[in-house]
């Protein structure tokens, strides 16, 4: 799908799917990393309901940076949010299976994502987006992703007693391992209980605007090393992902007298021209 059609579908539906972004070996390495973190976890006296590891870029930079900086995904994010795309948080998760009886008639929990607002009936550019990658195929056993299509535009309310139940207007999405779904922060969505024989793994790369605070920290040695590498390359896209936007004052106070998209394109082109990738290491 070309990027303009993808953008139009994303604006209409509240999500878009990039198929087969990662191969089986890459996906297996992320699953192994989740198991490794679980095994090295101190303090858990009993099996938790879910494993949830934040700050994954600092924990596993070599494994996770290629996903955070994936050119296809970040280029799309820049078309949606402008060249203001920062990593808010990167979370690797695994949900152990639960008994089939406990899962009957349940969903994980309907929600809109962090930094969203209640929609007004008109499309608004999101200040944050979620790029979710599942590390096994989603089936009725591993649990599909559920979405309410268009709920990033429509002021759809859900009462507390509806939060954990399937909804008649839901769409079930059966992503394959290695696909990436990019959602608008206003899209109402939920996971599904895992009744398979294995854990249900995924990671969520949550991007927000570089005008905002970020949830993960970038002051650990691994992220600092990435920042030095990006600085050497004059790589503004990577610097922004890592919480440093050199153009924040000029671009964030540009006067706003031209349509956003034209300015965004110009700024993205300037960033690409400034990049010095003669020293890739």
Residues contributing to the site for ligand AKG (CB under 6 A): 108, 113, 130, 132, 145, 189, 191, 204
**Measured from the CB of residue 205, what is the shortest distance to ligand AKG in angstroms?**
10
Contacts of 114 (CB under 8 A, 6+ apart): 88, 128, 185, 206, 208, 215
**Measured from the CB of residue 189, what is the shortest distance to ligand AKG in angstroms?**
6
The smaller minimum CB distance to ligand AKG, of residues 90 and 230, is found at 90
The smaller minimum CB distance to ligand AKG, of residues 145 and 223, is found at 145
Separation between Cα atoms, residue 243 and residue 48, nearest integer Å: 32
**Measured from the CB of residue 192, what is the shortest distance to ligand AKG in angstroms?**
7
The smaller minimum CB distance to ligand AKG, of residues 113 and 245, is found at 113
**Measured from the CB of residue 106, what is the shortest distance to ligand AKG in angstroms?**
13
Among 170, 155, 53, residue whose Cα is nearest residue 107: 170
Q: Give pairs for 100-106: CB < 8 Å, separation 24+.
A: 100/195, 102/193, 103/192, 103/193, 103/194, 103/195, 105/165, 105/166, 106/164, 106/165, 106/166, 106/193
The smaller minimum CB distance to ligand AKG, of residues 69 and 183, is found at 183
**Measured from the CB of residue 60, what is the shortest distance to ligand AKG in angstroms?**
18
Closest residue by beta carbon to ligand AKG: 191
Three-class SS state of 62: helix
The smaller minimum CB distance to ligand AKG, of residues 128 and 238, is found at 128
Q: Which tokens go with 226?
A: 């990435």
């Amino acid at each position: 799908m070309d990027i303009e059609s993808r953008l139009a579908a994303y604006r209409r539906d509240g999500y878009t799917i990039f198929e087969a972004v990662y191969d089986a070996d890459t996906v297996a390495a992320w699953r192994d990393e989740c198991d490794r973190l679980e095994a090295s976890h101190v303090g858990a006296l009993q099996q938790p309901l879910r494993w949830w590891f934040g700050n994954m870029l600092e924990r596993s930079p070599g494994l996770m940076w290629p996903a955070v900086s994936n050119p296809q995904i970040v280029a799309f994010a820049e078309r949606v949010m402008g060249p203001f795309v920062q990593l808010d948080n990167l979370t690797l998760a695994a949900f152990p299976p639960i008994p089939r009886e406990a899962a009957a008639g349940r969903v994980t929990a309907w929600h809109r994502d962090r930094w969203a607002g209640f929609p007004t009936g008109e499309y608004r550019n999101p200040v944050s987006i979620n790029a979710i990658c599942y590390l096994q195929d989603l089936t009725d056993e591993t649990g599909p992703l559920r979405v309410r299509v268009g709920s990033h535009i429509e002021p759809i309310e859900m009462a507390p007693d509806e939060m954990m139940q399937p909804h008649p207007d839901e769409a079930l999405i059966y992503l394959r391992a290695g696909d990436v779904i990019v959602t608008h922060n206003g899209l109402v969505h939920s996971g599904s209980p895992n009744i398979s024989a294995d854990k249900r793994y995924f990671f969520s790369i949550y991007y927000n605007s570089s005008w905002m605070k970020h949830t993960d920290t970038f002051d650990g040695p691994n992220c600092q090393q990435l920042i030095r590498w990006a600085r050497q390359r004059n790589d503004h896209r990577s610097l922004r992902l890592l919480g440093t936007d050199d153009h924040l004052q000029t671009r964030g106070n540009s006067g706003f007298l031209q349509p956003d998209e034209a300015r965004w394109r110009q700024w993205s082109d300037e960033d690409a021209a400034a990049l010095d990738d003669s020293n890739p290491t």
